[in-house]
Every structure is written in C-alpha cells, then in structure tokens.
Amino acid sequence: MGLPRVAGFRASGIASGIKAEGADLALLLSDRPAAAAGVFTRSRLPGAPVLVSRRRLRSGHARGVVVNSGIANVGLGSAGLRRAEAMCELAARAVGCGGRELLVASTGVIGEPLPLAKLRRGIPAAAAALSRDGWPAAARAIMTTDSVPKLETSRYRVRGHPVRVLGIAKGSGMIEPDMATLLAFLVTDAAVSPAWLRRLWRETVEATFNRVTIDGETSTSDMALVLANGASGAPEVRGARSPGARGLREALLEVCTELARSLARDGEGATKLVTVEVSGARSRAEAERAARRVANSLLVKTALFGQDPNWGRILQTLGAAQVRLVLERVEVRLCGVPVFRGGGAAGPAARRRAGARLGRPEVEIAVHLGAGRARARLWTCDLSYDYIRINAEYTT
C-alpha cells in the first residue's frame, strides 16, 4: 500500500533546530487556491498564530499552512505577532504564493520567542522537501510530547470522481478543546464553497475534537483547519443537497473521529483509551456536564489506571456535577459489566469481571442517569505516573 496522497496537495516535515532533536517544521501546500475554514481556541490568551490565522481566514481561502513545534509563540505581545507574520512571509516567498495566502500554527513551550534565524534557513528547506508523499513527515514534525504521529485518511466517490480526505493532528496533554494541546489539519480534493465548508467544519469539530479531554486544560494554541481545493474534479458542494455532500460529511467525520480517538489514546502517560457514555440525562447540556465531570475526574482516571472497578468514584463525581439523576434508575457499566444498578452495587462477582476487563487497552464507562433521554459521549484516557513525570519536566 502506497503513502497517502490527496490530489493537488503537497506536504513536508523537517528538522530546523527549533527543538533540540527531531523534526519541528512542517509545510502543507495546495497547488491552487483552496476554500478554507478554521476553528480556534476560545482561550482569552490565544497565541499569535491563532490571531493571525483567524484574521486571514475571513477571506474563506488559503493556499496552505506553515507549522512549527517546540515553541508556541504565546504571551509575547506584538513581538509574537511580528514573528507569526514573518513565518507566513518566509513560507510564501519559498513556495511562490502571495504573503496572505498562508496560515500559521505553532505549538510547544509558552513564552519563548521563535528563532527567526532558524526559520529563515528551515522554511526554504521545508519548501524544497514538499512532496505528494510528505504527509507522514509532516505529521511527525508537528508533534511535541506525542509518542506517535497521527494521520488518517478516507475516500468516497461522486459521479465517478474519487474524492479523498486526509488529516494529521498533534496533541497529548493540555487537552480539553474549547473551540476547538491540539493542532489538526485536514485537506481534501473535494470542491466546496467557503460558506458551506465553514458550517460543515464547525459541526465536524464539535462532534469530534470537542469530544476529547485528556486533563481538562484548554490550550492557548488550539487550531483545527481544513482546506478543500477541488482538484478531484467532482461537482462543487454548496449545501446539504449538493452531489457529494453526504460523502464529504461522512469522510470528514470519519477522519476527525479517528484522529480524536488517537489523541485520547496517546494522552501523556496514558495506558488506556477511555470512552465515556452518558445517557438518560434530562438535557443535552446535563449529559455533557456529567460526561465531562467523569472524564476529567482525577479519582476516576487513576482508578482506571489501577484497574480498580470503583463505581463509587463515578457516582460521587456525578453528584458533584449538579445534574438531575434518579438513583433507583441509575446504572453504571464498566466495559459492559453492570457494577451499580437499581440503587445498589451489583455485587463482588460483577466487580471482579469489570476489574479484569479494565486491563484492556480500550475501556468504556457507561452511565444511565434515569432522568430523561439526552446523551453525550467523550473520549479520554487514564492518569498514570508518567503524566506527572512528563509535565514536571516539560521545560527542563
């Protein structure tokens, strides 16, 4: 099986010296102007690249993205904005496009200035390395504490035209997107109007990347971008009834869902991917609040790491979530095993079965609140000793 490709797009990832070792500079480029949309962090301390890219996306079009890892370019005021703009200008000159046609993203340590001398050398090298097969290298170059690169693809057909969607993402800690530390970049050779792409992208991000939490922390640099260049030759998607609209929606959801699950699976120090499902809530908002409370509970996450089927930890955090529940109807399942139902424990045999299943690399917590019909789902991970080690040593 060959390397992933999307018609009309090239990518690269190189080592420019921003990080002490490894690749740290990526370039993603469309051969032609593309429709573009983005969703960004709602943090009141956004990074300079967020401010620059958000402003540039008002046009609804872009040619590509230049991304560095190792330094986040956050908390530096006007100097940070100048460096973010300089990254775009350097990349535009290197690839031969207009200065305002490129977007910019950065991730890494907060408060340190980007080394422009290294970027002046590195960006032309990244441009020279652009390739149809460069996506694995780009996925590696945007990593920080990630243990593995994250890349997913999907394809569908519209009136005989094959259409492809490809996405890369990074994120391992400081993750509870509120948009949308994660960066995600998707490209597709579908033709999509900017207005419809913007609407569809917001819906996709809400259903996928906004369903992830590692540690309850929202990054200053969260950014999820999508570019659609129409190189497939398929008819343009302008709305829900356009040819190919359903295929595009499903492909974006498929790629982003798998990337979101990969982010949770690769949480800093994680040993388990955890799915939290809450049903029987009085409203969607209460289902969401209950799910996030469970997914972010340090007591629940450490119990999962220790394979301890302690349903009491789950009930106590649900009680603190201030959501409506009817205890006699509440049911808690761990990996499919009911451990609490009908107002009481399911017994020691159920606990033993659940404890054994918690040793799996993927586990599920399912809670029914018995108060309504609303539901919510999130992905998270357990909390291990290594999470503390990684974050205690992050800048040293």
Question: Is there a catalytic annotation at residue 275?
Answer: no
Q: Which residues, at least 6 apart from 185, have a Cβ–Cβ distance to it below 8 Å? A: 28, 65, 67, 105, 142, 167, 168, 169, 224, 225, 226, 227
Q: Are 150 and 259 in contact (CB under 8 A)?
A: yes
Residue 296 phi/psi, 5-degree rounding, is -100, 0
Q: Give the residue from 143, 373, 151, 173 showing the smallest Cα distance to 280.
A: 373
By the 10 Å C-beta count (0-12 exposed, 13-18 middle, 19+ buried), 361 is classed as exposed
Q: Give the residue from 222, 155, 228 showing the smallest Cα distance to 187.
A: 228
| DSSP bridge pairs for 188 | 165, 228
Give the span between the Cα atoms of 216 and 284, in whole angstroms. Answer: 20
Tokens representing 60?
């609804």
Give the span between the Cα atoms of 319 and 260, in whole angstroms. Answer: 28
In the chain, the N- to C-terminal Cα span, in Å, equals 41
Q: Are 119 and 67 in contact (CB under 8 A)?
A: no
- For residue 309, CA distances in Å to 331, 348, 380 come to 14, 10, 17
Residue 12 phi/psi, 5-degree rounding, is -155, 160
Tallying the residues shown for the chain, one arrives at 396
- Point out the catalytic residue in the list 107, 181, 213, 220: 181
Q: Are 139 and 168 in contact (CB under 8 A)?
A: yes
Q: Are 325 and 357 in contact (CB under 8 A)?
A: no
Residue 139 phi/psi, 5-degree rounding, is -60, -35
State the amino acid at position 297 in one-letter form.
Answer: S
Give the span between the Cα atoms of 294 and 289, in whole angstroms. Answer: 9
State the amino acid at position 343 in one-letter form.
Answer: G
Catalytic residues: 181
